[in-house]
Homo-oligomer: A and B are copies of this chain.
Amino acid sequence: MTDLPPESLVGKTIAVLGGTGPQGRGLARRFAAAGLAVVIGSRDPQRAAGTATELAMATGGSVSGTDNAAAAAAGDIVVVAVPWEGHADLLQGLATSLAGKVVVDCVNPLGFDKQGAYALAIEEGSAAQQAQALLPESVVVGAFHNVSAVKLDDPETASVDTDVLVVADVREAGDLVRDLAGCIPGVRGVYGGRLRNAHQIEALTANLISVNRRYKAHAGIRITDI
């Protein structure tokens, strides 16, 4: 643990649904390392408990693991890092336990074929907008789409060289998630517009996958002039 978390996050529990997947696990590691209480959710609560134990030992932080529904209920801020395929089904069942909470969607709806990754067409416009449609009593914020899972989950990476674009329709919720992003060393949370402009940030991950292949990198993005 290094610095204390910002005031807006003091005493808040961060739930990470899909927290045993690469992105979710990497975020959970960084949040725990920042001194935040983390609850990992997974379809498989035993796997979640195993990951939680590992991350607690690695970070010295407070991490527990359970199923996705219990994690959703336990979190003050709930990060959704599940595969796109299970996104709608999972959120449909959680509308009540997520009511009144800030839900952070970091899901990238991508397809893959021989030519690499490509963006899927989403009826609601984006994964974040789908989440907001399914969770009318939550405030959905889009973030953490373009951060390398490898870098997040690598204890040797002291500082993650990327900005996190945060899309939000409610300013306070966006600012809270910007603070959350800022808990990761090296990362800035940058306001990137309203939820209706989430699609291209999710889809940009397909381009970053192409960058990673061509340049043998774990690319991220920085916003310049700010």
Residue numbers of A with Cβ under 8 A of B are: 115-119, 148, 151, 161-162, 165, 167, 190-194, 196-197, 199-201, 203-204, 206-211, 214-215, 217-226
B194 to A200, Cβ gap below 8 A?
no
How many Å lie between the Cα of A191 and that of B207 in the bound state? 9
Given that A200-B119, A200-B199, A207-B201 are contacting pairs, would A223 and B214 also be in contact in the complex, using a CB cutoff of 8 Å?
no
How many monomers of this protein are in the complex?
A: 2
Contacts of A201 in B (CB 8 A): 200, 204, 207
A204 to B200, Cβ gap below 8 A?
yes
Contacts of A162 in B (CB 8 A): 224
Known: A116-B193, A200-B204, A211-B226. 17 other contacts (CB 8 A): A148-B225, A167-B207, A191-B211, A191-B214, A191-B215, A192-B211, A193-B206, A193-B210, A193-B211, A197-B210, A201-B204, A204-B204, A211-B223, A217-B226, A218-B225, A220-B224, A221-B224
B226 to A223, Cβ gap below 8 A?
no
B223 to A220, Cβ gap below 8 A?
yes
Contacts of A191 in B (CB 8 A): 210-211, 214-215
B200 to A200, Cβ gap below 8 A?
yes
User: Can you sample 15 A-B contacts with CB below 8 Å?
Assistant: A117-B193, A117-B197, A118-B194, A151-B225, A165-B207, A190-B211, A192-B211, A193-B206, A197-B207, A199-B203, A200-B200, A204-B204, A220-B223, A220-B224, A222-B222
Min CB gap A226→B, angstroms: 4
How many Å lie between the Cα of A95 and that of B6 in the bound state? 57
A118 to B218, Cβ gap below 8 A?
no
B193 to A225, Cβ gap below 8 A?
no
Given that A197-B203, A206-B197 are contacting pairs, would A225 and B214 also be in contact in the complex, using a CB cutoff of 8 Å?
no
Min CB gap A96→B, angstroms: 30
How many Å lie between the Cα of A165 and that of B200 in the bound state? 14
